[in-house]
Amino acid sequence: MLSTADALATLLGAARAIDGTETLSTLDALNRVLAVDVVSPLDVPPMHTSSMDGYAVRTADLTQGTGRLPVSQRIPAGHAPQPLAAGTAARIFTGATVPPGADAVVMQEQAEVAGDEVTILHRPNAGEWITAQGADIRSGSVILPAGTRLTPQALGLAASVGCAELTVQRRVKVAVFFTGDELTMPGDPLKPGAIYNSNRFTLRGLLVNLGCDVTDYGIVADRLDATRATLRDAAQAHDLILTCGGVSVGEEDHVKPAVEAEGRLSMWQIAMKPGKPLAFGAVRRPASDGEALAAEPATGTDATQATQATNATNATNATNATNTVAETFFIGLPGNPVSSFVTFLLFVRPFLLRLAGVRTVSPRALSLRADFTQQKGDRRNEFLRARVNATGGLDLFPNQSSAVLTSTVWGDGLIDNPPNHTISAGETVRFIPFSELLN
């Protein structure tokens, strides 16, 4: 079995940004991935502005510390001022342009007005309460690099330099299907031995949350021919085929032989709990449908992880294969609901983000105190569902079974527990919040 680090390195080593871009209104680009740098065409702010309601003055006119000055003009935000005459003050409002000649703003609480004159009660320093031109952004600077996933604040930043449109990567196209004759859709009668297909709702939600263009093939019959036919159809126009269930080694698990017949498998089992059976490979598609999705090396932080995969013999096919026909990537998730959820977050999510052109795909982890004791470690890397309590420590969900989906709703994230490691109360553990894994 591959370690989790080697498995992730294998996937990231094979992934590269998909081809194809589109130009969208900045208003419609939320959660999309920038295809080109956003370069500011101007300074922000584009002029010196007042950061307070008050009075713009020349500090040279206040050599005695205070003084009475005639108010020569009124400057609301959005209006062009006249140069400030020596020996006068200008009434100014927050965000308004500081008039030429003024070098400080005195807040209105430090001034007294009588008619057309103002008495300054505070001697300001040069630059006081003035936001300098370009204090936030300089013209010509890259404010959002290619590979940035566009958050609401990133859209605001792009708009602040006048970007009405943004060039983004096209959406990653994902085909998803589910295997298991026991699966029933909510709303249909539940026959003896059947279960509702919760994974369909969880995985579709995760894919949509990541901005993927999803084709849902639904539940595929537990037959080799049906699985192969669905793989062939899904390979035609998608970047990734994602399956759930059927990746174990039983007689009714047809995904592995189907993928091997229609393409190749490069990885099969991961030394993790939950989620040991996780498959990675590719399915052939006609070369005319597009160029082969060839592998390219990872860079940056992920390149360091990739070096750990050198001892994983199965990784060679995924990272070094020279494809003679076009292929669609394949990832097969286990069928247990917690296993499919956790393996998606840890492996499919970063893989999809890399396909989408995102450069930094590793979630940020926290070092938090365990407020529980786990006396027995597992030989595999465990990912324990836990949540942050009122004192900032972590509580453990009492049932860590891979079938208990309740734990994923109750919890705030996953404790990354190394193999064969017991946890003592008060110990610091590595915690990955769901907030880092769900977007």
Alpha-carbon distance of 350 to 359, in angstroms, equals 10
Q: What are phi and psi of 5, to 5 degrees?
A: -65, -45
Question: pTM, whole model, 2 decimals?
Answer: 0.84
Between CA 418 and CA 371 the distance in angstroms is 18
Instruction: Supply the DSSP string of 324-360, one letter for each residue.
Output: SS-EEEEEEE-SSHHHHHHHIIIIIHHHHHHHTT-S-
What is residue 288's predicted lDDT score, i.e. its pLDDT? 55
Report the pLDDT value the prediction gives residue 254, as an integer from 0 to 100.
85
pLDDT for position 439: 84
Q: What is the pLDDT of residue 269?
A: 87
Backbone Cα Rg of the chain: 30
Segments of the chain scoring below 50 in pLDDT: 289-324
Residue 247 pLDDT:
67
d(CA 232, CA 258) in angstroms, rounded, equals 10
DSSP 3-state assignment of 19?
coil
Q: What is the pLDDT of residue 245?
A: 87
Query: 326 with 33: CB under 8 angstroms?
Result: no
On whether the CB atoms of residues 129 and 333 are closer than 8 A, the answer is no
Q: What is the pLDDT of residues 230-246, one digit of tens each?
A: 999 999 999 999 999 87
Report DSSP state, residue 53: S
